[in-house]
Amino acid sequence: MIRLKYTVLLFVMLFNAGLQAQNTYKRWSDIIRKNDASWFGSDQAKKIAENVLLYQRDIGGWPKNIQMQNELTASEKKSLLKLKKNAVETTTDNGATTQEMLFMSRMYAQVKDERYKESFLKGLDYLLKAQYANGGWPQFYPLKKGYYSHITYNDDSMARILEVLKEISEETNYYSIKPSKEITLKSKTAFDKGIDCILKTQYKQNGVLTVWCAQHDEVTLQPAKARAYELPSLSGKESAGIVLLLMSIDKPSPEIVTAVKAAHAWFEKTKITNIKEEPVLNSKGEKIDKKIVAGQNTDPVWARFMELDTNEPFFSDRDGIKKKSLNDIGPERRNGYAWYTNDPAEVLKKYSAWAVKNGTRVSEKDKKNITYITVAQDGSGDFTKIQDAVYASPAFPYEKVTIFVKKGTYNEKVRIPEWNTNIILLGENKENTIITYDDNFSKISLGRNSTFYTYTVLVEGDDFTASNLTIKNASGDRGQGIALSVVSNRAKITNCILSGHQDTLYLSGTNTRQYFKDCYIEGTTDFIFGGATALFENCEIHSIKSSYITAASTPEGTAFGFVFKNCRLTAEPEASAVYLGRPWRIYAKTAFINCEMGKQIKPEGWENWSKPEAEKKALYAEFNNKGEGFNPSKRVSWSHQLTKSEADKYSIENILKDTVLNWYSK
């Protein structure tokens, strides 16, 4: 009886061992990654390894979309031997080459067959040879004509390559095969070049870093087209893989940190939580199609393709015509392509811990209660960059969030997004707390609207306050260059220096109210411009040369445009002929009340900018001004000298009236 029990037990153990050694996965990628280590020493694994060796070309790479585990006939094996020298279809697309290298590494860990080691090293050599001088990789190497030569992030191709090189260069134990020191160093160089390429291809939208396209031109590095329905766009899927790679880098450079934080902000901005995919079934209950329907509080997804400048998702058939809804394209492409992804959710999940480790003392757990953040260049604060503090600020907070900026010159573009409301940007003092950048129209070079991308600081979030700061566009007298752009409502700027040349201060937005008090604002041409309603109190308006102070574009029907009260208008000695303003748009409204005007102000005061109709529709007004530049009798006939009762209407309560009562005094 004892012998029988022993025999049965032995049989069960051997039977279970056989099951464990038997691969149960059908997909090639699953076979590589999901089998236990011991399986790679089995006869079945060795048999598959012979196929993998056959498929590898002499150049070192493999073709894609091959189920390597499928048994080969004698004829097929003969054909593959003949193809060894043919490198036409070798690629890193769809996981090709990198996954076969992993397979060979896992085989070699169990079976010390030198052919496996040689195969792995040939694959590594292939990756190194395929890299462009700019750090990117094409989809196929040797190069294949067409879009295949673009730098390819598609389907995580380049991210996978860099993950291999990272493991090799850091000499980890992830791969069982250890290259020579020379190859390890080459891998490190290639990895660094690849990361540099990633940083250079991160797309700037209106001057702000976002994410990446699936393909970038190998020469210009700009977003590029692939197949007819794969148009230049920002990619929700591929960008996630890139960011996760960047987040895996120990002791990242400031540039990498900036890239990750910018991408994280973009993922937060573009996540979709109000749709879901629903199957379309036939009468037998079989899925024959899918459609997108509205949902509430659904798990976030991101579109595979989003417009480069608006982030709007789009979809297309093989005709390449953009459609706004997945439901608008034909069933072949609708069901044959992954149009939505949840990959960025992994970035959002890991970001908190990464952010705490790399540049912030504020954890995601604490983020809900943030009300005060310190920025200091010497590292004594929570951040060393202002933009990073903005990234850490909660969206739509109930309380004011103060970003205190210690003394220093911060050479950066700063954007306060529309979801970062209630921000207070507080400098230590205005003379020594300086935010500066040097973009201008020619440098930006984005077409006729380049001016609007030149800002040093852009404010989109409502209920913004700034004080004790210098905000400067340092490009000099080289055309349009905005220092401060405010397109938000209820923005209050006090005790600040706003410095630039042409177009220093842009004020706009729909039905926006903005308040400037005790500020110094300098520039050359149209250096205060836009369509907002803005009140300037106790400010010094300084002209650097003879030109125009204001260029209002007040919308028709707006009660007030730009209003200057108790301000001083000063100028450099060479600025001897300065106009108070000219109409950017014909309904421009600008008023100067109780202001001191220097002799630089031209007697006629105003100019129509070759718009005769503006003389009837614009409102240029003055009241009770003084100084050598105040010459009411010599002003152009179509301007207005207000009466006392008319001037009384220009009260702070009337000008800045809003649904939030007395916001300007808080």
Residue positions annotated with a catalytic role: 503, 526
Q: What is the DSSP secondary structure assignment for residue 59, as one 8-state letter?
A: T
Which helix H or strand E contains 264, and what residues bound it? helix 254-270
**Dihedral class, residue 513 (left if φ above 0, else alpha if ψ from -120 to 50, else beta):** beta
**Nearest-angstrom CA–CA distance, 468 and 431:** 8
Amino acid at position 140, single letter:
F
Amino acid at position 307, single letter:
E
**CA distances (Å), 568 to each of 337, 536, 565, 627, in order?**
63, 11, 9, 9
**Nearest-angstrom CA–CA distance, 511 and 119:** 66
- Using DSSP bridges, classify how beta strands 533-537 and 287-294 pair: parallel, antiparallel or unpaired: unpaired
Place of tokens 């009466």: 643
Lookup: tokens for 547:
């030109």
- Using DSSP bridges, classify how beta strands 204-205 and 208-209 pair: parallel, antiparallel or unpaired: antiparallel
Q: How crowded is residue 648: how many other Cβ atoms within 10 Å of its Cβ?
A: 11
**Nearest-angstrom CA–CA distance, 350 and 99:** 25
**CA distances (Å), 548 to each of 504, 526, 601, 636, in order?**
12, 5, 10, 15
Q: Provide the 3-class DSSP secondary structure of residue 168.
A: helix
**Nearest-angstrom CA–CA distance, 488 and 505:** 13
Lookup: tokens for 608:
């129509």
Place of tokens 């209920």: 463
Q: Which among 519, 393, 401, 508 has a CA at the least distance from the CA of 458? A: 508
Torsion of Cα atoms, 564 then 423 then 475 then 527, to 10° = -20
**Nearest-angstrom CA–CA distance, 109 and 172:** 14
**Dihedral class, residue 594 (left if φ above 0, else alpha if ψ from -120 to 50, else beta):** left
Q: Which among 553, 621, 559, 566 has a CA at the least distance from the CA of 590? A: 621
**Nearest-angstrom CA–CA distance, 313 and 305:** 6
Q: What is the DSSP secondary structure assignment for residue 651, as one 8-state letter?
A: -
Cis status of the peptide bond prior to 394, with omega within 30 of 0: no
Lookup: tokens for 625:
């001004």
Amino acid at position 461, single letter:
G
**Dihedral class, residue 323 (left if φ above 0, else alpha if ψ from -120 to 50, else beta):** beta
Q: Which among 146, 176, 143 has a CA at the least distance from the CA of 40? A: 176
Q: How crowded is residue 186: how many other Cβ atoms within 10 Å of its Cβ?
A: 19
**Nearest-angstrom CA–CA distance, 503 and 480:** 6
Place of tokens 């090189």: 165
Place of tokens 């030109």: 547
E strand residue ranges, 295-400: 302-303, 315-316, 322-323, 340-341, 372-375
Q: What is the DSSP string of 272-303?
A: B-SEEEEEEE-TTS-EEEEEEEE-SSPPPBEE
Lookup: tokens for 49:
């390894």
Lookup: tokens for 194:
């690849």
CA angle 25, 26, 27 (to 5 degrees): 100
